[in-house]
Amino acid sequence: MEALKKGLRKLMQRTGAGPGDLVIMAAVVLLALYILVLTLSVRYTSRTTEPLQQTAESAAEDPGSAAADQPAPTDADAESAAAAETTEAATEAPSGDPVVERALADMTLEEKIYQLFIVSPESLVDNATSCVTESGNLTRAALESKPVGGIIYFAQNLQSRPQTTDMIANAQHYARDSHGIGLFIAVDEEGGVVARVADTLGTTAYSPMATYGKQGDTAQVREIGADIASDIAEYGFNLDFAPVADVNLSSGNELGDRIFSDDPAVVSEMTAAMVEGLQESGKVSATLKHFPGLGAEDGNTHYDETARIDRTKQQLAAEEFTAFRGGIAAGADFVMVGHQIMSCAGDDLPSDLSGVVVNDWLRGDLGFQGIVVTDAQNMNTISGTYSAGEAARMSIQAGVDIVLIPTDLNAAYQAVYDAVESGEITEERIDESVRRILTVKARHGLIG
């Protein structure tokens, strides 16, 4: 310490600096040392991390270089990875459209649940009339108290061009005026033998779909889809329950020449083309039906008490799933699930009541994220075994978004409402379906 003091006195004598000047000099020296240490530290860190970043970037740009030192993946590895990616995609929540989210936030539970039903116009008005051909005071009052997701019209409801246009326009006005959300206006317009609008109102008629499947002309099928959409949109229809995506595997099935082909690849290509044509204008949504496939059936779901199809999961994946993948990849807004019991599902339930079929297969294996609708639940394979309330509740629990034509709308609604109130079905589960419904409705300009 004494030596330090002597050194400082000598320094002051030589430089003429006072004690205060030395303090300042010392501070400057310390600051310089601090900056030097900090600079060296940053340079060291950069040298150690930059090579790692470059390695990661190189791997991303050239995946083959990283894979070169790894064992080649097996088919099982590839299938597992694909299944994992598909399942992950299937469980992702739809992106939040502000219009959709605002509409959803403003809805009551009652309004949400009614959106889960598409009904006949007669069912909507509690069958007060046997055939609805106009949207008058009964329809207005019904839509005010029961804001359903949509109405499906059949040939008996369509009498003339002006009558059909006015009936649909008035129903849309009543729905939007009372609750701010428009209706899906649905029809079965496949072409061929199932063509409600062509048969009654004289729009362009087409041959059975098997004809075009044999020709293999996807461009022609796409054009047919676009023409059908243009024809039905003119009247106000915005949802077509077409095309048929089943594969013709059994001569005993109920669909016959409504099916494009017995070749899954042909069905896949044709349904994709039809979906693209129907949806290209943005005015009409297409529906793939009847998942997981009625083509191997030997019966009729309209009249039989049950319809059971004995198929392995491997058979389904190779044929029926292949056919449906085409339309799903083309962006079909809807997939209709049928009432057939699939033996390999293992739950002995009609497909539209089966979580295995809807969640595991359609959402999981095929990655479908659009709207899942049941086939009409007034058909005997459902109505002959289940009450309207049971069928609706089980469908929603299975992952279905929309129940089509329950035998009793009031009972079906009440069963779902009670299940939510009891906690058997969560409101979050209801919101999932309503969000999907509103997302498509927003694209059709049906919100607000």
Residue 286 to residue 334: CA distance in whole angstroms: 6
Q: H-type helices in 280-358, by residue range?
A: 313-318, 320-329, 355
Calculate the alpha carbon distances from 195 to 39, 156, 243 in Å: 78, 12, 12
Q: Which of 173, 257, 302, 304 is catalytic?
A: 302
Residue 234 to residue 202: CA distance in whole angstroms: 13
- The C-alpha angle 346, 348, 354, rounded to 5 degrees, equals 80
Burial class of 16 by CB neighbour count within 10 A (0 to 12, 13 to 18, 19+): exposed
- The C-alpha angle 112, 354, 87, rounded to 5 degrees, equals 85
Strand partners, 402: 373
Among 92, 112, 118, which residue's Cα sits nearest to residue 431? 112
Question: DSSP letters of 246-278?
Answer: -----TTSS-GGGS--S-HHHHHHHHHHHHHHH
Helix/strand/coil percentages in the chain, nearest 5: 55, 10, 35
Residue 319 to residue 327: CA distance in whole angstroms: 14
Is 179 tagged catalytic?
Answer: no
Q: Which of 188, 352, 365, 375 is catalytic?
A: 375
Confirm if 183 and 175 have CB atoms less than 8 A apart: yes
**Kind of pairing between the strands at 194-195 and 189-191:** antiparallel
Is 302 tagged catalytic?
Answer: yes
Catalytic amino acids? Answer: 302, 375
